[in-house]
Structure 1
Amino acid sequence: MGSKTLDGEKLNRCVVVAANVPILADSLERTKQNWIAKANSITDLILQVGHSSFHLHKLAMVSRSEYLNRLVFQRGCNRGSAGDNLIIRMKNFPGGAKTFELVAKFCYGWKIDMTASNIAPLYCAAHFLEMSEDLEEGNLISKTEAFLSFLILSSWKDTFRILQSSECVSPWAKDLQIVKHCSEAIAWKAISCENERHLNMQACKSKTSNSGIENKADTWWFEDVSLLRIDHFIEVIQSIRRRGMKPQLVGSCIEHWTRKWLSHVTLGLDNVTPIPITLQLHRISTECLIGTLPTEENSVTCNFLLHLLKVGVMLKINPELLCVLERRIALMLEKCRVCDLLVKNQGDKDSLYDVTVVLRVLRFYVCGISSNPSAKIQTVGRLVDGYLTQVARDENLTMESFKSLVEALPQNARNCDDILYRAIDMYLKAHPDLIEEDRADVCRVLEHHRLSQEGRQHVMKNDRLPLKLATEFVLLEQVNMARSMTNNGSNYQRTHAQTIIRVNKDFEKRQINAQEIKMMSKDVETMKSQLLELNTCKIKLQKQLKRCIW
């Protein structure tokens, strides 16, 4: 078996005929929705399958089908009459009229082609009609079962064709274990190839270490599995997990299927309101996927889980499952990178990245750290600050969303606010139309003592900041300089809280304009130079005094 999909594979087929045919017919002619068996004797049985009618002979059909035998010779609610003909209506016949045409031809002894595309409906139809060996040796159940087993055991590609053809006869295919046998065959082949490739890679490890080739070899089966419907896909995944496939590969396969089938939900391509059944199918699919995710650490990426959480919120899935996702992502935050948090929106009026889904996880994380003494909240603080610098440039990001992200973590999550200040400055630069009150609201979290000296200098020169904040920083810097200078030779004492109170009172007493702030900034620079000279002089005096003592 190759390591990639076998698109050009020749189809397996089987031609079967029935032996000991009681009635011979020349042909089965079709007129609109009617099939009529042409023979020397007239037809005496009408079988209605859906909107189609088959005019056949009782003896030909009851000799192969126990089900029809009972209906013909016993009274039943599905019987009727049309002249000398007996009418039997068969509801929910597996495969419909197309499959029943093959069954009728088999009963008349004509050759029928069995392929991977029709074997599942034909096998289910044979069981529906109870065409077993008890009636006739070589009946349809035994022939379809033999060919079905051959296909499942011998052909990777045909196994998927069987699963896809089983969709139209889903309840029967599940009850007769067609889906289970196909899933186990796929799992066995995927595991076998994966183990074989692992051994080959180990043998060739000394010759080459191309991880790209190894990853491609590990995931060769993803594309075929991603063609399956959700219920068949889940069955395959469960079979693969039972056989011991690596959790990382299982998680990657689920991600591959999800991005393919739910892409129009995650990427916002539903421009037209979908019909309710489509939304319901997406909701059920998402809930099934969450329940199937491997629980091992690093088996799925944080970014994929965020996308899945976004879809779950949009589709309003079970709140308990949303909580499961939020908790799992929150536990991964301390090992995440900024790129792991980037979940794109696609609407023209939406922000570039979906920040609401990240905000949900952050709030969940903050609620959980109170009961977790080993939480590395400062690591998450650095992660969030980096994320803020990524989203701050977005012109469509609302002030409420940005503020919520800034305030999501407690104050002890940051030792220094320099990166946070840079993110706020980037946001103000990308939103020049914000009024003074809004800019002040965004900058409310910034505090003088939590910024580095370089950060404070930048604040005092930044004309994008609200005037009140810049003024407070300049005044506080003046007070600090004055305190540093006087403390070198006086008993000047003032607490930080007293300083802030004084600055605020000074600010309320007078309105300071931008020109005054510039002058005050120059005074601060002058005071710094004087303080530096004073410290230099102090060091020289200390050295001279030391030499005199010695």
Structure 2
Amino acid sequence: MSSSSMARHGPSRRGGEAWFCTTGLPSDVVFEVQDMSFHLHKFPLMSKSRKISRMLAEQDEQRPAGQRRRRRRGSSVANAEEHAVAAAAAETEIVEAEEEEEEEDGDKEQEQVRMEDGKSYSITFPDFPGGPGTFEAAAKFCYGVRVELTPWNVAPLRCAAEYLEMTEEHSEDNLAARAEAYLSQSVLRHPGEATKALKSCEELLPHTEELGIVARCVETIAARSSATSRSWFGDLAVLGLHMYKRVMAAMAAREDVRTEALEGCLVSYAKATLPGLSRSMRWRRASAPVSSEVEQRDLLEAVVASLPADKGSGSVVTAKFLFALLRTAHILRASDAARAAIERKAATQLEQATVEDVLIPSYSGAAETLYDVDCVERVVRHFLAEEEVGEDEASSSAAITEEEAAARTTASRPSAVAMVQVGKLVDNYLAEVASDANLKPAKFCKLALAMPDHARIYDDGVYRAVDIYLKAHPRLTAEERDRVCGVVDCRKLTVEACTHAAQNERLPLRAVLQVLFFEQLQLRRAITGTLLASTASPRARHPNPHPQRPAAALRHAADPSEAWRTTTVQESQTLRVDMDGMRSRVQGLERECSSMRRAIKKIDGGASPGSAGPDADTPAGWRSRYRCKFSTQVCDSQARDAVVSRASRMGMSP
């Protein structure tokens, strides 16, 4: 059959579950490692392994006296065989081939005959670390074959060397020393190589624990996790849950490990091990089979437990990642504690989320709605709870000053920008879920009213959601329609929204009347503002009769409703003053007109009848006759105290 070159020093062949090493001399010892039999020679193995040498000596002592005498007589032959094996090892290659069944049966019968003759030894290693593959590599090393060390096999070979007692005390340049040198000089200098070695240690417990390989690999990964290059973070995906927890615990215990490094390891491990968490990464650990739902749930809860307690920068553990984690928790039916922890963590970065992130489908069979609205409402409540906690902490201490209390409140509560962003997010989310026919009015209103008034500069977004909801639910009762429309503050609608609402047939009559009323009120405010701007220059010349009024208005500006009420009162007072001034000007004009009429009558009554020309009765005639000059006057509403003498108005000389 076909053959392939495997290593040097002696031809070998593997047939079925038996491994033969042929050097021209018959094998004299058989090793049973799990389900594999190795037919080897004792002298190369005894020269490197103290354990094998001791076990063969014990078997010699247990043999009958006749066999021991034959063994002593054949010692010279054995020595010759040893030299022959060494010579053959220096000139030939170990090859691995598949032989015909007849040849294999013949070899087995020949080995069986040698064992019955008492010339062969049998040693069983039922718990050999690393299994048959590692024993094969150790046996090749005993024959002088060059064994290439890698991060994947250095831990098994180090355990095998310890198990077989292949140390420097027994033989120089032995397997234990070579494995230790490679481990310290190559593997433990790079966290990615240490991660591979740590993965190989998972099947070698407790041997690797006793040799300290696990502790050294974990310490290497934790110590170098704060390096600039983090390309090796993806290598952590090969680790099992137990080893991953040890690595994360070691990283958290070090003071020099930054939060970004912890988050980077966390995100890389979660995306690679939890299915569906990252749609762009579809590969799975090649060393492990597909995990069951229970194993995936354990992985998820371990990742959640490793989430940093503080808010963090949000550059690594993003809002998209947290909501994807929350979606996966719903799919895997994670514990309530794990889901609550993710919701609280997601609330800290809610202002960075998008509508696609918060659209979490309802995976429960009892849920009626398409999306889990209750989950989003809980996240919003957690976000708002931070503001309440900040206010309570700032007001609970009586020893601090007012400025310090305000500073603490500002630092602990969400910023105004974040609040407005969350308000927009909630409005857009309501518009997306409003078309769900199974969404109850109470649940819709509860989420819409969860945000405070200062979270919305304008209510156009929530009005749009209400309009979509009314269109998708045409069978609502009058009471339900009024309740849904009640979430919109008509005072905060823009002109475009007011125009649309005034013509919206889906709105109840009461809501339309409110929109029209507040639209009219806005119009009056606009007119009042124009009048204030036109009269600002004359009023500036008069002293302020109420110097404390602006300060009082500023004190009440914190409350939106109080500020609106104060502004309305001020506008009403200003309008009243302007109306009084206009009334005074009109009365003055009426008095002047009456005086002019009396003067004209006197002039007309004093003229002689015969001196009148043909056009004496016309206004132009008597004006030209008596040289009366009437200047044209324009009423200027801008001037309040315009006083002009009657003589100058009529153009008469004094």
TM-score relative to the length of structure 2 = 0.54
Distance verdict in 2 for CA 1:276–1:156, change over 3 Å: closer
Q: State whether structure 2 residue 354 is matched by structure 1 residue 339.
A: yes
* Aligned equivalents of 2:250, 2:487: Cα separation in 1: 59
SS at match of 1:47: strand
Q: What is the CA-CA distance between 1:429 and the residue it aligns to? A: 3.7
* Aligned equivalents of 1:433, 1:337: Cα separation in 2: 29
The residue number in structure 2 matching 1:143 is 178
Map of 1:352-391 to 2, 5 A cutoff? Answer: 357-364=375-382, 373-374=391-392, 382-391=420-429
The residue number in structure 1 matching 2:343 is 326
Q: State whether structure 2 residue 307 is matched by structure 1 residue 293.
A: yes
Q: State whether structure 2 residue 135 is matched by structure 1 residue 100.
A: yes
Q: State whether structure 2 residue 328 is matched by structure 1 residue 311.
A: yes
The residue number in structure 1 matching 2:270 is 258
* Aligned equivalents of 2:341, 2:469: Cα separation in 1: 36
* Aligned equivalents of 1:413, 1:185: Cα separation in 2: 50
SS at match of 1:437: coil
Aligned counterpart in structure 2 of residue 127 of structure 1, from 162, 175, 179:
162
The residue number in structure 1 matching 2:498 is 457
Flag structure 1 segments of 5+ consecutive residues without an equivalent: 1-15, 18-24, 76-80, 195-217, 485-533
- Deviation per CA, 1:217-269, whole angstroms, max 9, x where unpaired? x6444445556555555544444451513212321342233223325246599
* Aligned equivalents of 2:505, 2:129: Cα separation in 1: 71
SS at match of 2:39: strand
Q: What is the CA-CA distance between 1:101 and the residue it aligns to? A: 0.8
* Aligned equivalents of 2:371, 2:163: Cα separation in 1: 53
- The answer on whether the counterparts of 1:389 and 1:423 sit within 8 Å (CA) in structure 2 is yes
* Aligned equivalents of 2:42, 2:356: Cα separation in 1: 68
- The answer on whether the counterparts of 1:381 and 1:413 sit within 8 Å (CA) in structure 2 is no
Distance verdict in 2 for CA 1:361–1:68, change over 3 Å: farther
Q: What is the CA-CA distance between 1:471 and the residue it aligns to? A: 0.8
Q: Which has the higher contact order (CA 8 A, sep 6+)?
A: 1
TM-score relative to the length of structure 1 = 0.63
Q: What is the CA-CA distance between 1:103 and the residue it aligns to? A: 0.8
Q: What is the CA-CA distance between 1:59 and the residue it aligns to? A: 4.9
Q: State whether structure 2 residue 256 is matched by structure 1 residue 244.
A: yes
Q: Given residue 333 of structure 2, which amino acid in structure 1 is its aligned partner?
A: K
Distance verdict in 2 for CA 1:306–1:128, change over 3 Å: farther
SS at match of 2:149: strand
Q: Given residue 339 of structure 1, which amino acid in structure 2 is its aligned partner?
A: T
Distance verdict in 2 for CA 1:140–1:442, change over 3 Å: farther
Q: State whether structure 2 residue 296 is matched by structure 1 residue 282.
A: yes
Distance verdict in 2 for CA 1:116–1:366, change over 3 Å: closer
Q: What is the CA-CA distance between 1:149 and the residue it aligns to? A: 1.2
SS at match of 1:407: helix
Distance verdict in 2 for CA 1:483–1:406, change over 3 Å: closer
Aligned counterpart in structure 1 of residue 483 of structure 2, from 444, 467, 475:
444
Distance verdict in 2 for CA 1:347–1:265, change over 3 Å: farther
Q: Name the count of aligned residue pairs.
A: 441
Distance verdict in 2 for CA 1:427–1:338, change over 3 Å: farther
The residue number in structure 2 matching 1:34 is 18
Distance verdict in 2 for CA 1:343–1:371, change over 3 Å: closer
SS at match of 1:425: helix
The residue number in structure 2 matching 1:531 is none
The structure having more radius of gyration, on CA atoms, is 2
Q: What is the CA-CA distance between 1:151 and the residue it aligns to? A: 0.9
- Deviation per CA, 1:285-335, whole angstroms, max 9, x where unpaired? 2222223233344154344333323323332334333333333344555xx
Q: State whether structure 2 residue 518 is matched by structure 1 residue 471.
A: no
* Aligned equivalents of 1:338, 1:330: Cα separation in 2: 10
* Aligned equivalents of 1:378, 1:442: Cα separation in 2: 34
* Aligned equivalents of 2:189, 2:488: Cα separation in 1: 73
Q: State whether structure 2 residue 29 is matched by structure 1 residue 49.
A: no
SS at match of 1:112: coil
Q: Given residue 509 of structure 2, which amino acid in structure 1 is its aligned partner?
A: T
Q: What is the CA-CA distance between 1:135 and the residue it aligns to? A: 3.3
Map of 1:53-132 to 2, 5 A cutoff? Answer: 53-61=37-45, 64-65=48-49, 67-68=51-52, 83=116, 84=118, 85-132=120-167
- Deviation per CA, 1:398-451, whole angstroms, max 9, x where unpaired? 355686365147567225877556335246448954333189747724328832
